[in-house]
Amino acid sequence: MYALVFGLTASDKRRLDGYEGPHFQKRVHSVQLITLPARTTNALVYIDEGDTTAGTPRAEYIPRMNKAITDALEKGIPEDYIHTYIRPFIPPE
């Protein structure tokens, strides 16, 4: 699995809590960073454990995800990973 990892301030975390709302549970997971040298760090993730059904993303979410996809590709996340795991749910604009 690939992901981009960002540093967060306390203010960032409060804003994310507001966006994600009460439906998501915050979890901290250890992740392996692809750096030289490789290292691990803790990552904050938001998980909706109550809703595991497929759905359609809200319209406002699609442009943000497409920006994230562009950033991910620029950072070296493989295009086949994007097409296999993300594009079935996030259409290009």
Tens of pLDDT along the chain (93 residues) come to: 888 888 999 999 999 988 887 888 999 999 998 877 889 999 999 998 888 888 888 899 899 999 999 999 999 999 999 999 999 999 998
Positive or negative, the CA dihedral 73, 63, 84, 26 is: positive
Residue 45 and residue 62 share a domain: no
Residue 33 CA to residue 5 CA, distance in Å, equals 8
**Which position has the token pair 């920006």?**
67
Residue 33 and residue 5 share a domain: yes
Residue 44 and residue 4 share a domain: yes
DSSP 7-63: ---HHHHHHHHHHH-TTSEEEEEEEEE--SS-EEEEEEEEE-SS--S--PPPTTHHH
pTM: 0.74
Structural domain count of the chain: 2
Residue 89 and residue 61 share a domain: yes
